[in-house]
Structure 1
């Protein structure tokens, strides 16, 4: 097993070296699928969506947005710098389609009411990949977790609401592991005495390129069954 892993790591290292000479990233050699589940508290069924589009971006292309999150005290400058050094690819999801049978063909821009509400436990993403051009192969689940507890993003939203003199028409929130970021927009202009309504307009996950083909043995059906049952 160790020899097999060593050979795979060496092969990936050679491929990355070749791609660097061409100014390309390893992530450019993969196709991706992302599923988003809004896990609810109690017995309420979750809302599950499939990304209609996935945009892979390298960390340097997204540095300004991350820096903005640091300025708003969403996370530390040191941790964001360490994140960028990990050579991650960002998988950006701007639109999705619900997995409900009667709505599966209904692609829409992401517009999910996230705040204020108390029924959501967490937001979870499942990420799948396959080699580009291998259209006859199934997407396979990447062994990485992307979870954002409502208690974590609620705390960030509360801290933002206490700020003064800042443009809060849009926010970027990061989970404690800084592997998942939610992009929120204000639904209506804030009025005195009326709670601010925030909707999820897009999200992205940060994935180290070394994990791009670290696949689990779980099928899509196995992973989604707990969310859909």
Structure 2
């Protein structure tokens, strides 16, 4: 089937309206200002300058007085607002860096700032990632033909069901397992055997992986419904030999 015209623009507008409704006008202006600054840097097509500008933008959320000044624009109205604030800003800057680096590699012409905004404000990726590089996102969202592989919808439904099961598992872990509170008791931990301590550490790592798998899995499922091929979720800790494979 043919893709709806301007679907990437619709994604962008929907994402911007969702961010505006969730975080407020001041937060949206902060995000847009970072996008404009990093887009301006991208026009120079210098990779080192793109890296430096991106790192400086990230540092501005950790170093005073820049951090306090930017935080002062956003009024806290709900518990998760801090998480959304830093998550959205951090991933925005990383997406801008990906855009700038791809623009530097482009031999003829430059990408427009609208291309950057389409990329940044795709809502499923906005607050918590994952980072889908600009070249992949741009090529997939700009395609005129939408095709699904055989049994792809069945696979999407199956993955969605597994993610619901994982959500229940995370809730059970959080409320009925003591793996999260035991490490806080140093005296108790000192009395544990090496095997028990290793098991406790392993359980905490698996719990962290399940949380990440739930978050990335739900986001990826939504992206696949939009005919995108998002990055794969992290591997289970049990299947890793080195952490570089996560």
| Bigger-Rg structure (1/2) | 2
The TM-score, its normalising length taken from structure 1, stands at 0.22
> Which is strand-richer, 1 or 2?
1
> Which is helix-richer, 1 or 2?
2
